[in-house]
Structure 1
Amino acid sequence: MAATTSLLLPKLFKFQNPKSVHAYSAKFTCSSSITTQTQSAKQDLLSLIADQDRGLKTQNDPEKRSQIVEAIDAMAALAAGSVTTGDSLSATWRLLWTTEKEQLFIIEKAYLFGTQAGDVLQVIDVQNRTLNNVITFPPDGVFFVRSNIEIASSQRVNFRFTSAVLRGKNWEFPLPPFGQGWFDTVYLDDDIRVVKDIRGDYLVVDRAPYTWKERV
């Protein structure tokens, strides 16, 4: 019986290499630390932009802009090497903050047309290689710019504008396409996306609670 018990022991108890256990523990701790840093940086960024009226206030506050850009750079460093141009990029994204002067101008001056800007959206479909930039003017107005996209790398997307239109309830005014460029999604998760583009502008968006589709 003693011999039988002795033979079974190695099968019942698998002794691990201490070095292997240490390596796994170190890897887990490192991964956990990076996740904690990322969440902290994300909350820092969201707190900084929370009261900036989508970037309108930041235009006249260079110190605040610098703080926000530093927070974005910190997130980009933590996400370095990640892939942000896959299927998870496809979504209806809603503007939280930007430095893009054209968008901010339209948001700010919407009152001149007797309205105000609603959600500002970016609708991306990676599979169909399309991107629509959309500014809504509730209840019926919308300005959107259509573009085609091409995945250039793990973080970069090239785009070319194809058409634009300003549309009301019973009318629309087409505009010619105007330009091309690229943007890098420097951070992407289930909640937000952070972008830097060819002109050095920044964009922070979240996943909208709805899917926007162009009215035909």
Structure 2
Amino acid sequence: MAVMAAAPFLLPALSTSAFPSGRSLPNPSQSRGTIPCHPKLRHSSRTPVAARSASAGESLLLAKADLLDLISDQARGVRTEGNASRRAGIVRAIDALALYGKDMVTTGPSLSATWRMMWTTEKEQLFIIKNARLFGTETGDVLQVIDVGKGLLNNVITFPPSGVFFVRSTCEAVSPQRVNFRFTSAVLRGNSWQIPLPPFGQGWFESLYLDEDIRVVKDIRGDYLVIDRAPYSWKE
């Protein structure tokens, strides 16, 4: 049986003489019409997910920094009293930060802490801060001590070196951001004495924003509170 040698399949050489004089070879890129780009290959104007996340994170940090800057020279709110424009600016900054917290659950275990007041609109606390010197003392840290697991809340005003006024309460989370509370007792305590006081009320507060550093609160009376995590745990 004869074996046939496989030969390459040869194309004849292409000669330019086959085209009229003065004409060049057709250029596919100059052909009539444009071949549409495949949708998957088109450049997208959408911002990548990672970039959007980074941008949102930066915006949150700016909103937080703006609020902290606005309250930094307000003596915990004393200097804001009577200054309607400054108060309005701080409330706007709170509202801006609250937008980032609107989907947060702020009544979980992360709420348990010793929180230290940075700024407030609560008149009773501001009155004590301003007038403690009339009683021969000064106001130290103003605290909110919460134990979510035990359902306990203490509001505390310290008078260094050893004085303290605190109100005990029970508390219960009733929504992702709202906590109901009821006062149970109050104590004014000095170095070697204390005066018990009767309980006097109930209410609720909402933590509009919470992170590892600060918490922003609005209460039943429409007052605001900006607090940070104290570097210590307060105990009775």
Q: Do both proteins adopt the same fold according to a TM-score greater than 0.5, normalized to the shorter chain?
A: yes
Q: Is 2:151 the partner of 1:116? A: no
Map 1:1-216 to 2 at 5 A: 26-214=48-236
- Measured after TM superposition, the shift of residue 80 of structure 1 is 1.1
Cα shift at 1:160:
0.6
- 2:66 partner amino acid: D
Counterpart of 2:225, as a letter, is L
Q: CA deviation at 1:35?
A: 1.2
Deviation digits for residues 23-42 of structure 1, max 9, x if unmatched? x9733222222211110000
User: In structure 1, the residue corresponding to 2:221 is in which secondary structure?
Assistant: coil
Amino acid at match of 2:210: L
**What TM-score do the two structures reach when normalised by structure 2?**
0.79
Query: Any stretches of 5+ residues in structure 1 without a counterpart?
Result: 1-17
Query: Compared with structure 1, are the counterparts of its residues 67 and 25 closer, same or farther at alpha carbon in structure 2 (3 Å cutoff)?
Result: closer
Distance in 1 between residues matched to 2:101 and 2:163, nearest whole Å: 37
User: What is the alpha-carbon distance in structure 2 between the residues aligned to residue 133 and residue 107 of structure 1?
Assistant: 14
Report the AA paired with residue 98 of structure 1. Answer: T
- Residue 212 of structure 2 aligns to a residue whose secondary structure is coil
1:54 partner SS? helix
The 2-side partners of 1:194 and 1:64 are apart by 17
Aligned-residue offset at 1:163:
0.6
Q: 1:9 maps to what in 2?
A: none
Q: How big is the shift at 1:89?
A: 0.5
The higher radius of gyration belongs to: 2
1:4 corresponds to which residue?
A: none
What secondary structure is seen at the aligned counterpart in 2 of 1:78? helix
Q: C-alpha separation between the residues in 2 aligned to 1:81 and 1:141?
A: 40
Corresponding residue SS for 1:131: strand
Percent identity, please: 65
Aligned-pair RMSD on alpha carbons?
Answer: 1.5
Q: What SS class does the counterpart of residue 153 from structure 1 fall into? A: coil
| Pairs aligned (count) | 194
Residue-by-residue CA offset, 1:106-150 (whole Å, 9 max, x unaligned): 111101110000000000100001010000000110000010100
Amino acid at match of 1:126: V
Q: Which residue does 1:8 correspond to in 2? A: none
C-alpha distance in 2 between matches for 1:35 and 1:135:
35
CA distance in 2, matches of 1:176, 1:130: 17
Offset of 1:45 from its aligned partner? 0.3
CA offsets per residue over residues 67-110 of structure 1, 9 Å max, x none? 00000000011221111111111000001000000111111110
